[in-house]
Amino acid sequence: MPEFLHDSLFLKKHGFMTGKAKILIIEDDTPVAMMMVNVLSRAGCDVRVANTGQKGMELARENKFDLITLDVDLPDISGFEICSELKQRHLSYHTPIVFVSGRPCENNRQRGLDLGAVDYITKPFDAMDFVSRILSCVKPEQPRHKIPPAKCP
């Protein structure tokens, strides 16, 4: 992991949150989930992981997260269904959701964005690009869960 991701001055200067962003990863592929946890933790995030859609929904109901990453293909429920339900719930309506999926099809990307996701990252992905895209969706000094998040680039 590049040293600059550990530098809070660098992160703050470039508009990234320097406090502990709470991120929920809903991902059933253990090696991918562990890589995501590793790079996000090293970038200063507080990360929780759910390996099924049901567990992810439970964690999202019980906690407030600054961002949720969501796989499309989960063993028990579609990531699209989870996104749709989370966006209907009052407490998680404004929580940014980023799809991280092995489905590179443009139709899937568009469907995810139409459901309210702020970004759609395809696997495999570069770790540095992943961290940058995730952190850019968690804006500093933004009142969390009160105003709609801007779309990520």
CATH topology of domain 3-136: Rossmann fold (3.40.50)
Task: Report residues of the chain scoring pLDDT below 70.
Answer: 1-19, 90-91, 139-153
pLDDT tens column, 67-109 = 999 999 999 999 999 999 998 876 678 899 999 998 878 888 9
Instruction: Name which of 116, 15, 34, 104 is nearest 67 in CA terms.
Output: 116
Domain ranges of the chain: 3-136
